[in-house]
Amino acid sequence: MNDQELNATFKSIIERVRQTATGVVSELATNNTASAAFSINPKNRVPVSRRLRMQQVHVYELLTGDDTDFVNKVYHYLLQREVDDSGRYNYLSRLKYKESRHLIIHELQHSAEGQAQRVQVVGLGLIRYVLKVYSRLQTLNLGKLSVLPKLLSKIIKKSLYIYEKKYLFKTSVFLLADSNREITNDLITNTQNKLEQHLNQRFGENEGIVQQLNDTVISYQTVLLNYHHELETLKQQLHQQTIEHQQFHQNIAEHITQQLGRTDRLQTEIIAQHQRISLARQDALYQQYHLRHLLADIKGEIHTLTPNDAARHLDEYMDAYYLAFEDANRGTLAEIRQKLAIYIPYIIELKQQSSTLPVLDLGCGRGEWLALLRDNAIAAYGVDMNGVMVTLGQESGLDVRHADGLTHLQQLPDASLSAITSFHVIEHLPFATLFNVLMEINRVLIPGGLLIFETPNPENVLVGSHTFYHDFTHRNPITPTALTFLLTYHNFQAIQTLRLHPYPEAAKVPGDDPLTARVNGHLCGPQDFALIAHKSAAIGDLE
């Protein structure tokens, strides 16, 4: 049975029900004028003004009718007012260009005016989740991949429009069938009750009329039951179509889920590609650095490679290796900046209280800390012995100098720096060199100047016995106690210890007893620590 035949059958059944009800009322009026009190009188209906304000509406009550009816109804039900001229023109224009009615309902319901009315739209089914996905796609920002949410949005809009054209009439007939079945049942019940009351009143006076009316009721019941069976058959047919409709919704949802999964995989692949590009770029920088020195050698006199030349070339290869090692183990630029950001308040406080002299970062590497200082308008520069890293820092517009840290300190005048920082450097130095570095730091800092050291924390057993030795250039772990004593010996004071970067909770042994807490403290505690100290002031002491 096609849609036209289904519609014609349904209209025929409803018309026959109405004719039957009219016949019952007319016959009652003929037999007894008193029965008019029981007839279906439109005056008995509750006036519209006395009805309760509707707080929910079925979606198919909104969807049926032509475009003008649709716009009038959504404003009436969802916004509780008549449509204005601008709204009518806007939505009729969008409907003319095949805009989905579901999207317009969703838009008005979630507008500020619609949310204030709090009218609930029921019967959306799986469409509700499709609309949520559509709303999420409108706010999804994937940068260069923003074309994917736009493409998915177009797919959803087109699918909803096709769905409305293909399934809207059939589902509306299904709902109207249920509604008219309820009307039919109510009509049967009301008619029977009225007839029984009438027969009880007139039974003694006219038994023949009572019998005739009883027979009439029975015949009408039979007719109405037949109509009911026909409506049940129609309902079963429409139920099958509803199953197909739900399957269509499910297919759309699965398709959207697959597309979102592809988007996630594509984003992961792009991140991996960026990492590969970064490594390739670093290798290219090293090759450029190496070729620059090689060309300088070619321009000079050709001579036999001396042991010093061989050592220099080996150092260049090791510089490239160490850059790759840091890229693989220190994390992304954003992660490094987040870890270093905790030290910015110390620098800002120092700058507010004392000199505007620059900050020196010893072993600055690629310059992540220098970039963070620059973003906070703090004058700073760095030195590093790794030529490849120095090149990277300079290309980022940072003041990075290729020099040995101790040698550079020895060349500086007294009290020429406001602060000195060094992150994960001192564990690379022999003790004699570290001792000499601290002597020079104490000389070149202004009174009250700031010193920040960060290094791996051997209080964590896994760090001290295992991860510390991932770096071949590490000499030996330095404990917080030993470093505190060394700084105190060199006249630094107000020493503050920060224990940083513990293992995540998932790595800890489960339990809340003292023994478990101690085990977790030794194995999963902070992986790094920092000492923050001030050079003794010329007059008075720092708090």
- Condensed to tens digits (0 to 9), the pLDDT of residues 293-352 reads 666 666 554 444 455 554 555 566 666 676 666 766 677 778 889 999 999 999 999 998
Burial of 236 (0-12, 13-18, 19+ CB in 10 A): exposed
Q: What are 264's two structure tokens?
A: 């996630």
Report strand pairing: 526-535 vs 492-502.
antiparallel
Q: What are 210's two structure tokens?
A: 């009572």
> What 3-state class would DSSP assign to 169?
helix
Between 372 and 538, the higher pLDDT residue: 372
pLDDT number for residue 41:
43
97-101, 195-199, 313-317, 453-457, range with the lowest pLDDT: 313-317
Between 242 and 433, the higher pLDDT residue: 433
Q: Report how far residue 293's alpha carbon sits from residue 298's, in angstroms, rounded to the nearest whole number.
A: 9
Q: What are 288's two structure tokens?
A: 């450029």
Q: Residue type for 54, please? A: M
* N-to-C CA span, the chain: 92
Between 109 and 527, the higher pLDDT residue: 527
pLDDT number for residue 301:
45
What percent of the chain stands above pLDDT 90? 34
**Is the pLDDT confidence value at 385 over 70?**
yes
**Is the pLDDT confidence value at 496 over 60?**
yes
Contacts by 468-472, CB closer than 8 A, 24 or more apart: 468/427, 470/329, 471/325
pLDDT number for residue 361:
99
pLDDT number for residue 302:
43
pLDDT number for residue 410:
98
Residue pair 394/402 in contact by the 8 Å Cβ criterion: no
Q: In the predicted model, what is the mean pLDDT of residues 209-228?
A: 80
Between 343 and 21, the higher pLDDT residue: 343
> Considering the chain, what is the average pLDDT of its residues?
80
Between 103 and 360, the higher pLDDT residue: 360
**What DSSP assignment string belongs to 339-399?**
HHGGGHHHHHHHHHHS--PPEEEET-TT-HHHHHHHHTT--EEEEES-HHHHHHHHHTT--
Between 479 and 191, the higher pLDDT residue: 479
Condensed to tens digits (0 to 9), the pLDDT of residues 27-77 reads 545 545 444 443 334 333 334 333 345 578 988 888 888 999 999 999 999
Q: In the predicted model, what is the mean pLDDT of residues 276-288?
A: 62
pLDDT number for residue 457:
97
pLDDT number for residue 390:
93
Q: Where are the alpha helices (DSSP H) in 358-465?
A: 368-375, 387-395, 405-410, 431-444, 461-465
pLDDT number for residue 16:
57
Cα 182 to chain centroid distance, Å, stands at 46
CA distances from 220 to 28, 32, 35, 193, 198 (A): 13, 19, 18, 14, 17
Q: Report how far residue 256's alpha carbon sits from residue 133's, in angstroms, rounded to the nearest whole number.
A: 8
> What 3-state class would DSSP assign to 331?
coil
Q: Report how far residue 90's alpha carbon sits from residue 71's, in angstroms, rounded to the nearest whole number.
A: 10
Cα 362 to chain centroid distance, Å, stands at 40
pLDDT number for residue 541:
44
**Is the pLDDT confidence value at 82 over 70?**
yes
**Is the pLDDT confidence value at 281 over 70?**
no
pLDDT band at 498 (very low <50, low <70, confident <90, very high): very high
pLDDT number for residue 210:
62
Q: Report how far residue 172's alpha carbon sits from residue 242's, in angstroms, rounded to the nearest whole number.
A: 11
Contacts of 321 (CB under 8 A, 6+ apart): none
Q: Which of 249-263, 275-289, 412-426, 509-523 has the highest mean pLDDT?
A: 412-426
- Strands (E) located in 424-490: 445-456
Between 134 and 316, the higher pLDDT residue: 134
Q: Which residues pair with 421 in a beta bridge?
A: 361, 452
Nearest Cα residue to 527 out of 455, 475, 471 = 455
> What 3-state class would DSSP assign to 383?
strand
Between 499 and 1, the higher pLDDT residue: 499
Q: Which of 3-17, 253-267, 458-472 has the highest mean pLDDT?
A: 458-472
**Is the pLDDT confidence value at 500 over 90?**
yes
pLDDT number for residue 165:
79
pLDDT number for residue 219:
84
Burial of 284 (0-12, 13-18, 19+ CB in 10 A): exposed
Q: With both helix axes pointing from N to C terminus, report the angle between 431-444 and 480-489 in degrees, rounded to the nearest 10.
A: 50
**What DSSP assignment string belongs to 474-516?**
------HHHHHHHHHHTTEEEEEEEEEEEPPGGGSPS--SHHH
Phi–psi pair at 53, nearest 5 degrees: -65, 130
SS (H, E, C) 97-114: CCCCHHHHHHHHHCCHHH
Q: Report how far residue 395's alpha carbon sits from residue 260's, in angstroms, rounded to the nearest whole number.
A: 37
Condensed to tens digits (0 to 9), the pLDDT of residues 467-485 reads 899 888 899 999 999 999 9
pLDDT band at 486 (very low <50, low <70, confident <90, very high): very high
The conformation of residue 35, written as its DSSP 8-state character, comes to G
Threshold 0.75, pTM exceeds: no
**Is the pLDDT confidence value at 489 over 70?**
yes
CA distances from 145 to 152, 285, 427, 476 (A): 12, 29, 43, 47
Q: What are 202's two structure tokens?
A: 């007139």
Q: In the predicted model, what is the mean pLDDT of residues 283-290?
A: 62
225-239, 300-314, 502-516, range with the lowest pLDDT: 300-314
